[in-house]
Structure 1
Amino acid sequence: MTPASLYHYNCRQATAKTGSHQPVQGVAALDADGLVLLDLPGEWRKPDLDLFTQRAGVPLLDARSHPPDGVRTVLASRAPGWQRLRGLRLGFPS
């Protein structure tokens, strides 16, 4: 599966329990309609993403400075069967 684009985001989001705002960042793979196919939360370095998307031939949408409401709207627009993947923390015992 090749996404139509990758969406690099960074915004602050209120937590349900405390209402405090926590930073949320990651990369989402979007389909041709702009719906999220896959969300990969975490810190992603822009130079690495630029190199990856150039080699893969997939456009990168840099939304790190976009207003939080717009970022949340994009992330809430999920394609059927979308997934959120989380990797293992560094230093996790094997």
Structure 2
Amino acid sequence: ARGEVTYTKGINQFGDKTEEEFMAYLNSGKLLKPKVPGKYGKLFVPSDKKPAAEVDWRDKGVVTEVKSQGDFCQSCWCFSSVSIHKLEVF
């Protein structure tokens, strides 16, 4: 990204697992059924505002460090949902 690397690489809890072990870990939880909104409102409400041509969220202080999702698989939907809502209210 234009030479602006702001992260470091390192070993985490998955570094010593084989591909088979890692895939078994990812697939160990029961699948969650997605809930489709209906009576709770719309997914998207249009706005009359014209979107900015470009936004760098780092300049606005919104981007945070990478967080561990813990040992419970399939929580990534929660982390991504919360991140999107943070941008809505920022």
TM over 0.5: no
Structure (1 or 2) with the greater strand fraction: 1
Q: TM-score, normalised by structure 1?
A: 0.24
Query: Rg bigger for which structure?
Result: 2
